[in-house]
Amino acid sequence: MSFGGQTPTIIVLKEGTDQSQGRGQIVSNINACLAVQATIRSTLGPYGGDLLLVDENGRQTITNDGATVMKLLDIVHPAARILTDIARSQDAEVGDGTTSVVVLAGEILKEIKEFVEQGVSSQVIIKGLRRASAMAVNKIKEIAVNTSEGNQRETLRKLAATAMSSKLIHRNSDFFTKMVVDAVLSLDQDDLNEKLIGIKKITGGALQDSLFVNGVAFKKTFSYAGFEQQPKSFKDPKIVCLNVELELKSEKDNAEVRVEQVSEYQAIVDAEWQIIFNKMEALYNTGAKVVLSKLPIGDLATQYFADRDVFCAGRVASDDLERVCQATGASIQSTCSDIQPQHLGTCARFEERQIGGERFNFFEGCPAAKTCTLVLRGGAEQFIAEVERSLHDAIMIVKRAIKNQSIVAGGGACEMEVSAYLHSYADKNVSTKIQSIIKAFAKALEVIPRQLCDNAGFDATDILNRLRVEHRKGNIWAGVDFMNEGIADNMKAFVWEPSLVKVNAIQAAVEAACLILSVDETIKNEESAQPQAPQRGLPPGAAQRALRGRGRGMPRR
């Protein structure tokens, strides 16, 4: 078929589709990631600032936790969202180093940006970065110090203190490191499920008023009349945990019962009452002194138990009830008729206590305690929320340190040693284009100590030069000394971090950089998000009305 010598125009994509590709697209993606990095880098380290984030509802969050910041930032650029993913993966895998991983990924992209602009193939850059990453990880594993010998508790406290050094609670780190280490060591050491550490927040009081409960504590649940007459303290009580409703309810789903005589109606009412009385009597006969249920316990049951010196609480949150079962050895029952003695739990002491403006139920001295509760106090709500985030990071670090007993020095020491090693290796052993990629990666690692110095107000150029000299001499743990504005042996100064934090950060940052480099085309279809008009030939504006519902004056169909 002839088209008069002209090549026909073939339209593949819908009209309105935005298509950008090539080297310019990669540079644009890198610039977007650098903008995100610039936002978060000021929060790194012991002297990093906090960010005040306000969402669309006016809710404020004050934090310097990288994962929280990345989650709350409303990033619209598709490539820059990859940084959010790596921060989330670092938080899930290790729990700390979330800011470091974003700063490092941004710096790697910044260093290799000029190679992209000069026309170096992105595949060559990716190959160089992967090689440098593998060498860096091997070097960290080689220099890491094993902590399996010595005082484990003391080592864990040092690691928790380093994790807290950049947080709001670093002034109270002695108080909280003991709490964190006790909390993790109270868990089952085989699976170390951190979800079994309950964290309860109560405004008011000082940070030092926070409590560690070797057992379970939860806020007093909604209660009916008769609750105040129940005993609030027991020694060695038996505990029953239920998933049963102990309440008289009206018939559901508009059920209809037809009766011809009043006595028949009375028989129905009596039967309902008899059912609930049988349940309560069966529970009382088990000898349990504490009755807990996920479902409501109504006023009739509350008064029944109060008359018999039994404590009850309904509508207990499922995670709290699960932790009570873990601690006391009870098992959740779905019926009241066949409860055996082995289904009941026990604890040394049950008590209801007032803490601040709240009343809490405490289960302490539990025989099977594989769980604990941290009750946090503080002035403002945002402050306590940040304390909780800080403790989460420290708990995760201690958990990882128990499973992977190798540490490195923090304060930029590990990054400077790996950087010096990569520079030396590239000069001696690599002669291809990849040499400059490895050296660029080595330079990018220096962003951690440099940013630590910048955030602390130190002379970054001077300190980095001194660190390079020390590492060339073989002082592998030389890092930034925040106390004396200089450099120090951070291994001796007890600035410790699990090697897993560094390994995971480097691997995640390089993966993100390689992913962003491999994207050289973005196709954005603006119209796909807009629903099409349901009918043709509608007057202007009618299509919008049709989408919302049948507009006024439109014919029924």
Q: Which domains does the chain have, with CATH numbers?
A: 18-146+409-521 (1.10.560.10), 152-214+376-404 (3.30.260.10), 215-368 (3.50.7.10)
- Sheet of strand 215-219, all strands in order from the earlier edge strand to the far edge: 215-219, 358-364, 349-355, 233-235
Instruction: Name the token pair of 202.
Output: 């109560």
Give the separation between CA 356 and CA 364, rounded to whole angstroms: 20
Q: Furthest-apart CA pair in the chain: how many Å? A: 103
In the numeric block, the tokens 């969202």 are attached to: 81
With beta carbons less than 8 A apart as the criterion, state whether 164 and 386 touch.
no
Length of the chain: 557
Non-local (6+) Cβ contacts of 418 within 8 A are 136, 139, 140, 442, 445
pLDDT the model gives residue 250: 52
> Whole-angstrom Cα distance, residue 67 to residue 505?
13
CB atoms within 10 A of CB 206: 10
Contacting residues for 538 by C-beta, under 8 A, at least 6 apart: 546
- Number of H helices and E strands in the chain, helices first, is 17, 21
Strand (E) positions, 357-430? 358-364, 372-378, 406-409
Sheet order of strands, 372-378 included: 197-203, 372-378, 211-213
d(CA 232, CA 26): 66
Predicted TM-score (pTM) of the model is 0.78
Contact 161, 148 (CB under 8 A): no
Q: Tell which residue, 127, 138, 210, has the closest CA to residue 175.
A: 210
Q: Which amino acid is at 109?
A: L
Q: State the pLDDT at residue 416.
A: 94
The tens-digit pLDDT sequence of the chain (557 residues) is 444 555 555 555 555 444 556 778 888 889 989 999 998 999 988 888 888 888 888 888 888 888 888 888 888 888 888 888 888 888 888 888 888 999 999 999 999 999 988 888 889 999 999 999 999 999 999 999 888 766 788 888 888 888 888 787 888 888 889 999 988 988 887 778 888 888 998 888 888 888 888 888 988 888 777 778 888 888 988 999 988 888 876 545 556 777 777 777 788 777 878 888 888 888 888 888 999 999 888 888 888 888 888 898 889 998 889 888 888 888 888 888 888 888 888 888 999 888 888 888 999 888 877 888 899 988 888 888 888 888 888 888 888 888 888 889 988 999 999 999 999 998 887 777 888 999 999 999 999 999 999 999 999 999 999 999 999 998 999 999 988 888 999 999 888 888 988 999 999 999 999 999 887 777 766 655 444 444 444 444 443 433 333 333 334 43
User: What's the rounded Cα separation, in Å, for the pair 373 and 381?
Assistant: 19
Query: Do the Cβ atoms of 352 and 221 come closer than 8 Å?
Result: no
pLDDT at position 540 is 46
